[in-house]
């Protein structure tokens, strides 16, 4: 933290003293600590280090670091609790003064609140170490976030001072989806997926397991696409849509979204093939919702349909591919974003054109009707366990057969008559001839009943 934020420095020092005493007690024991105890202790140290590292992500501006101090204090409280539980489990003594931490933490917490509010009384001085307008606005974004989202955390401050600070910052408001990096706990060096887009990490936000996707923005167009993507996705709230909790546009931007514990639809159906029509029906409910909200998905594939811990099918990836399509990256080189949200390993890369409607392949903009076509391809994929058009055909051959020959993939025996008729009506060449999503939902309901009678 910054050099003059002495209260936070003392708080961190208290944790260090406790960790050091625990370590000394462990190595002084006659019996070696068990593997489980060693792993738990290592986990506490790593968690403390990770929280410190994430907090430093706000940069060196004093205003940003003081804004982050509330979260740092809360992090320290959490680490103290973990140390207490570990010491009880390990049978360690708490004779050292460092372990009488609660009263000291409460006192230091009030000092931290006072220091923050005192600094806000003179914003020009607080921002004196920030010269550029962009950096100044980024620092103020953190401060506004604290005062708008955590007013009760500063309840010990003088109300007039709190109102004065808010008034001084009221000329601009933060976007509703902003989540500062210091609120999200994740290991920046331990990604479960990396690529040209950036990196993806498991993390925690407000004690919930989340997926954190850090993205690389290489141009102003990328920045615009990032903001558009967040605004579209963040307003969607439905049991069959992966929830975007928020994002951060400062530093290296990232998304924070719901963790879909049961993975991609295609992989889930390999384990539960009997659920294929139920899960497609649930995905269709999600698609109806986003269409009602005026959103075109534009990239429907089975690996962009996930299964959450609640066993519900959920749509994900609302335009992130546009961020990945920089001037040096082709669509065939990209990984799907879905495994980035589910935590699964990427599948062999296949061009997305196998799911695209003919008009989209001809360069037209994606529409509700093109989403219906792509969802029809998802039905083929889910029911057969294979990509539309298989894996052997070159993308250019697929494009020719779809656009010029107006063909559909060859029907597979896994698709009963009613299912194939549905695919045909969803994937008509002319967009105006395709079924709407309400009709698709009705047909899928009928298929669920039909298939239940044949089991």
Other Cβ atoms less than 10 A from the Cβ of 209: the count is 13
Checking DSSP bridges between strand 305-307 and strand 254-258, what pairing results, if any? unpaired
DSSP code of 10?
Answer: H
Strand partners, 212: 201, 256
Concatenate the DSSP letters of all residues of 27-57 into one string.
HHSSSPPPHHHHHHHHHHHHHHHHHHHHHGG
Is residue 62 very low, low, confident or very high in pLDDT (cuts 50, 70, 90)? confident
d(CA 61, CA 133): 13
For the segment 161-189, the average pLDDT, to the nearest whole number, is: 73
Most confident range (mean pLDDT) of 8-17, 112-121, 316-325, 342-351 is 8-17
pLDDT confidence of residue 411: 95
User: Are 160 and 121 contacting, i.e. CB atoms less than 8 angstroms apart?
Assistant: no
Strand positions, DSSP E, 259-340: 305-307, 313-315
Phi, psi (rounded to 5 degrees) for 146: -60, -45
Phi, psi (rounded to 5 degrees) for 244: -95, 115
Is residue 328 very low, low, confident or very high in pLDDT (cuts 50, 70, 90)? very low
Residue from 173, 175, 291 nearest 231 by CA: 175
For the segment 318-345, the average pLDDT, to the nearest whole number, is: 41
pTM: 0.76
d(CA 40, CA 266): 36
Is residue 193 very low, low, confident or very high in pLDDT (cuts 50, 70, 90)? confident
Residue 333, pLDDT > 60, answer no
- 218 vs 166: which has the higher pLDDT: 218
Other Cβ atoms less than 10 A from the Cβ of 143: the count is 25
- 221 vs 155: which has the higher pLDDT: 221
Q: Which of 78-82, 103-107, 158-162, 224-228 has the lowest mean pLDDT?
A: 158-162
- What would the pLDDT profile of 133-167 be if each residue is shown by its tens digit? 788 888 888 888 888 787 766 655 555 555 555 55
- 249 vs 1: which has the higher pLDDT: 249
d(CA 373, CA 349): 21
Q: Which of 154-168, 246-260, 271-285 has the lowest mean pLDDT?
A: 154-168
Residue from 166, 331, 173, 305 nearest 241 by CA: 305
d(CA 177, CA 182): 15
User: Are 72 and 55 contacting, i.e. CB atoms less than 8 angstroms apart?
Assistant: yes
d(CA 439, CA 442): 5
Is residue 350 very low, low, confident or very high in pLDDT (cuts 50, 70, 90)? low
pLDDT confidence of residue 319: 58
For the segment 88-102, the average pLDDT, to the nearest whole number, is: 93
pLDDT confidence of residue 167: 55
pLDDT confidence of residue 110: 87
d(CA 154, CA 64): 17
Domains of the chain: 6-168 (no CATH), 181-258 (3.30.200.20), 265-454 (1.10.510.10)
pLDDT confidence of residue 340: 43
pLDDT confidence of residue 347: 45
- Indicate the average pLDDT of the chain: 85
């Amino acid at each position: 933290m910054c050099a003059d934020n002495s209260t936070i420095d003392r708080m961190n020092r208290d944790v260090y003293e406790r960790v050091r005493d625990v370590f000394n007690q462990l190595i002084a024991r006659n019996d070696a600590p068990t593997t489980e105890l060693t792993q738990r202790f290592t986990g506490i140290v790593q968690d403390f280090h990770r929280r410190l590292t994430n907090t430093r992500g706000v940069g060196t501006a004093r205003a940003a670091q003081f804004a982050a101090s509330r979260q740092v204090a809360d992090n320290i409280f959490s680490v103290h609790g973990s140390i207490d539980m570990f010491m009880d489990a390990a049978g360690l003594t708490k004779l050292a003064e460092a372990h009488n931490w609660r009263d000291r933490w409460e006192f230091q917490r009030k000092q931290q609140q006072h220091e923050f509010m005192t600094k806000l009384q003179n914003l020009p001085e607080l921002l004196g170490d920030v010269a550029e307008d962009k950096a100044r606005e980024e620092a103020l974004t953190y401060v506004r976030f604290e005062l708008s989202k955590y007013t009760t955390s500063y309840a010990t401050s003088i109300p007039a001072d709190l109102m004065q600070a808010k008034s001084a910052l009221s000329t601009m408001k933060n976007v509703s989806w902003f989540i500062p990096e210091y609120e999200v706990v994740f290991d920046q060096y331990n990604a479960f997926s990396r690529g040209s887009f950036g990196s993806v990490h498991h993390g925690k936000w407000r004690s919930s397991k989340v997926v954190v996707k850090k993205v690389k923005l290489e141009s102003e167009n990328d920045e615009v696409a990032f903001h558009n993507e967040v605004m579209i996705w963040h307003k969607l709230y439905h049991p069959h849509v992966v929830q975007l909790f928020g994002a951060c546009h400062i530093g290296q931007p990232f998304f924070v979204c719901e963790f879909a514990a049961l993975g991609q639809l295609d992989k889930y159906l390999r384990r539960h093939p009997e659920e294929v029509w139920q899960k497609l029906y649930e995905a269709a409910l999600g698609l109806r919702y986003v269409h009602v909200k005026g959103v075109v998905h534009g990239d429907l594939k089975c690996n962009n349909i996930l299964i959450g811990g609640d066993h519900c099918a959920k749509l994900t990836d609302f335009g992130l591919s546009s961020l990945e399509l920089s001037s040096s990256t082709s669509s065939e080189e990209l990984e799907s974003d879905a495994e980035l949200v589910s935590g699964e390993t990427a599948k062999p890369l296949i061009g997305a054109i196998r799911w695209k409607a003919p008009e989209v392949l001809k360069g037209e903009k994606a529409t509700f009707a093109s989403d219906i076509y792509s969802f029809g391809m998802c039905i083929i994929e889910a029911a057969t366990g294979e990509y539309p058009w298989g894996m052997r055909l070159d993308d250019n051959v697929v494009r020719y057969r779809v656009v010029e020959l107006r063909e559909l993939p060859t029907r597979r025996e896994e698709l009963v008559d009613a299912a194939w008729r549905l695919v045909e009506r969803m994937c008509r060449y002319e967009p105006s001839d395709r079924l709407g999503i309400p009709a698709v939902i009705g047909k899928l309901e009928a298929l669920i009943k039909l298939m239940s009678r044949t089991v």
